[in-house]
Amino acid sequence: MDTEIRRIKYTGKNLNDIFSLPCVSTITKYEGDPYLCLYPSMLVGIRSIAKPGCTLVEYENGLWEIKE
């Protein structure tokens, strides 16, 4: 795996900062919480939805990963 560049804790309150990330395609609400929909082509693995409390990890190769 490539070198980690940064980690971003998604709290559900930092929507303006999060939406500007290149990996985020849309933000949608589910049961009152804002969920992130990420571009699958920019991800490590198959998981492409991030709920509040998840961490987004950016790698040197330009790919992202969602961690619980």
Provide the whole-model pTM: 0.90
Average pLDDT over residues 10-19: 90
Q: Which of 32, 2, 7 is nearest to 21 (CA)?
A: 7
Domain count of the fold of the chain: 1
Average pLDDT, the chain: 94
Three-state DSSP class for 11?
A: coil
Pairing of strands 33-38, 49-50: antiparallel
Owning domain of residue 22: 4-67
* 25/39 Cα distance (integer angstroms): 6
Given this model, what pLDDT does residue 14 score? Answer: 79
Q: Is 90 exceeded by the pLDDT of residue 1?
A: no
